[in-house]
Structure 1
């Protein structure tokens, strides 16, 4: 019995290695689809989007959560890159800034064709999986990026955008942001229209920001897994997805310091007796299911919405009024814009 003090720790290590080995085996055929990564924002801040600067080389980029070796080590097979611009661009140059961030995503694919494949649909994601590349898609972070214009929304769609978050940390003329709930910001739209209410069959993509995970500056991988467990309990394993927010947050849980650590999270789920099918769902299959369902339901035959949001609902300090003076009555309500968003964007929260 005296030898048991070292025996059980050794067993625990062996079991941990077994879960990690199983996770890597699963991820070789079902790599991660991550719903949110802000590497393009870092490329703007650090290099003003000059990707040919030797320091910006994505094979050796330092001091970021994301580079090509880390993506490979993390078995990341598809990434929604965030085209993000801060809220202080609203009513100013938000559209220009968003276009520049979409451009830098496209240039990443052009500069590193052996690694990135820019795609716009689920078929493209599966193609990238087969070719061993990282499927690269565009997500736009914050409704302020479209400047309350359906025309801008449609243009961004044609440039490859496949989701738009309704708000970031500022209200738009048609949706309130999360700070309203904290009392820091005032409600303008009283939340959302009926379009904003939750329905079954959608996906919750878990953010890794430590403050969101634990309500403190420190968090750990186990607490992230607790969130996944909770979503599974409430909505089912098919509702769980990943949206790490790497390179968009300042604090990350221990054990998930960069994109290379996804296998450790998959191993933790296996340790918690998630089935292999459930883990594959979290990694990729749940998102592909939702994405494919949206593609099947989307209609590109319906005439586009044309009536603009009333000029009086927009802040006009840096805005011209072309088109408004000669137009008939304009009574577009916020709910109309939101309904149009549902029709025009392959929103990942769709059934």
Structure 2
């Protein structure tokens, strides 16, 4: 989070810090390099590099706790040494600033996946948000295909979270490597443009790719927004009182939630809803094609109990209660991601079993 250092205790301020990553049993943490569409040409690329600099600085200050890694082999060595392995992915193709050579640049800086769009489309790939609204052209352009091909060549995983359905299928026709969907859920359980339909899940499985499930309540539970709307409507006077104190924006929602903890505790879905999404993906695509992509510090609400990165053991517990086998849980908790990372790194195509 901006203005915060994750080697400090950020409990109550952010979802993530080094101590809570360790408590949650995290061996590898993928850090998203992110800026929105307001960072235009001349700003997005440099800001992305500054964020990578920041992660490297944290690792340098904490050499016994965190290690930036560039390969599966380095990851294994870091874990063996008792350090958390850190990997970077760029979330938004606009940070390439229309330059094919910046794919190579980011790869050399350690970036191992690129999310082709954020909610904003690029000139060469359409986002889910824009495709649903009917804003402009859909799918990949010829330059977009060149981006995907270059990523395949250098060993960078193509990430299809946030992209539109036309872009999704265009990429699957173009990529020779298994793809990633880093933080999306199942549309059959929660209809949302950010989630994957069953047809997309089946196509992803054929490609050998993996969808990592987002913990955001809105993507997991279609009734969540109505509960929030009812809560907000019942507390208009309290909202006005906070606004009179100068509290606005996201801080206002956070302050309101703190003021009524018993009520807000009932807004979020239970962990079982997340496990339902895992069950669905396993049923449709198979156990080799699902993982966890929390989007911590990018979301405002997660299932009850999953308040931060220290809570991952609760997911393991819930999976055991659903009779998942140890080897399958290991795939969900990172084994599937490791498989596609290796497949992209060594230049091989992994087909679904």
1:113 is paired with a residue of what secondary structure?
coil
Q: Is the 8 A contact 1:174 1:189 kept in 2?
A: no
Cα distance between partner residues in 1 of 2:351 and 2:99: 21
Cα distance between partner residues in 2 of 1:204 and 1:114: 32
Q: Is the 8 A contact 2:172 2:207 kept in 1?
A: no
Q: Is the 8 A contact 2:120 2:130 kept in 1?
A: no
Q: Is the 8 A contact 2:96 2:103 kept in 1?
A: yes
Q: Is the 8 A contact 2:126 2:137 kept in 1?
A: yes
Gaps of 5+ in 2: 140-165, 174-203, 226-267
Match of 1:33?
A: none
Higher relative contact order (CA 8 A, sep 6+): 1
Cα distance between partner residues in 1 of 2:36 and 2:69: 25
Which residue of the other structure, out of 328, 332, 336, is the alignment partner of 1:278?
328
Gaps of 5+ in 1: 1-41, 48-55, 299-341, 343-347
Give the superposition deviation at 1:188: 2.1
Structure 2 counterparts to residues 246-325 of structure 1, below 5 A: 246-297=296-347
Structure 2 counterparts to residues 1-351 of structure 1, below 5 A: 42=1, 45-47=2-4, 56=5, 58-62=7-11, 63-183=13-133, 186-190=135-139, 191-192=166-167, 194-197=170-173, 198=204, 199-215=206-222, 216-217=224-225, 218-297=268-347
Cα distance between partner residues in 2 of 1:172 and 1:349: 29
Match of 1:28?
A: none
Please identify runs of 4+ aligned residues in structure 1 that moved more than 6 A: 348-351
Q: Is the 8 A contact 1:171 1:188 kept in 2?
A: no
Q: Is the 8 A contact 2:88 2:113 kept in 1?
A: yes
Which structure: larger Rg?
1
2:220 is paired with a residue of what secondary structure?
helix
**With structure 1 as the length reference, what TM-score do the two structures score?**
0.67
Map Cα deviations across residues 55-80 of structure 1 (whole Å, 9 max, x no partner): x3624233111112211111000011
Number of matched pairs: 251
Q: Compared with structure 1, are the counterparts of its residues 200 and 135 closer, same or farther at alpha carbon in structure 2 (3 Å cutoff)?
A: same
Map Cα deviations across residues 9-47 of structure 1 (whole Å, 9 max, x no partner): xxxxxxxxxxxxxxxxxxxxxxxxxxxxxxxxx0xx225
**With structure 2 as the length reference, what TM-score do the two structures score?**
0.67
Q: RMSD of aligned C-alpha atoms?
A: 2.3
Map Cα deviations across residues 203-251 of structure 1 (whole Å, 9 max, x no partner): 1111111111113243221111111111111111111111111111111
1:106 is paired with a residue of what secondary structure?
helix
1:88 is paired with a residue of what secondary structure?
coil
